[in-house]
Amino acid sequence: MIRQFKFKRRIECGRVLAELMAEKLDQESRCPELLIPVPLHRNRYTQRGYNQAEIIATILARKMNCKIDLNVCQRIVHTTAQWNLTAPQRRKNVKNAFVLNKPIQANSVTIVDDVVTTGATVNELAKLLKSSGVTNIQVWSLARAAHKTPTTEKS
């Protein structure tokens, strides 16, 4: 369902997964002061037509009665898709990719993403949030994927 949501424009799959995630989190987690979805660069947003992390975060915010800010940060670097990069390449790919659009008025923030693989993206965003004074940062995602180092095929 995650692949369908992310790559096949099956937004209803993401909605179902986010609803299930909200039920689970509501039983186990306290709402942070602020939810922040991982932003997409405008070119990727135009290409895909939606931000999957934003859809998830919006549903979580509604179901759990949490505050959400869709505009507090922005991805300013149009990065290469991460799926075929090694862990070091992923870290380099997202380095300095985000900026804050305004001050964050929260100490406890949760970054929302669809899938966390190496953690490069959420770690880069967390560094930015910490540098702005946020003291408690969590990451909520639909899945934690195992990262396999890309291999080159031989002919």
| Per-residue pLDDT at 153 | 41
* Rounded Cα distance, 22 and 142, in Å: 10
Chain centre distance of CA 44: 14
Beta-bridge partners for 35: 68, 110
153 in a structural domain: no
Over residues 8-16, the mean pLDDT reads: 94
Mean of per-residue pLDDT scores for the chain = 89
Token pair 């997409």 is found at 40
Highest mean pLDDT of the ranges 22-36, 49-63, 74-88, 138-152: 49-63
155 in a structural domain: no
| Per-residue pLDDT at 155 | 34
CATH value at residue 135: 3.40.50
136 in a structural domain: yes
152 in a structural domain: no
What is the reported pTM? Answer: 0.89
Is 70 a residue whose pLDDT tops 80?
yes
140 in a structural domain: yes
Chain centre distance of CA 7: 15
Domain that holds residue 36: 2-144
Count up the domains in the chain and report the number.
Answer: 1
Nearest Cα to Cα of residue 40 among 110, 103, 104, 121? 121
Contact 120, 94 (CB under 8 A): yes
69 in a structural domain: yes
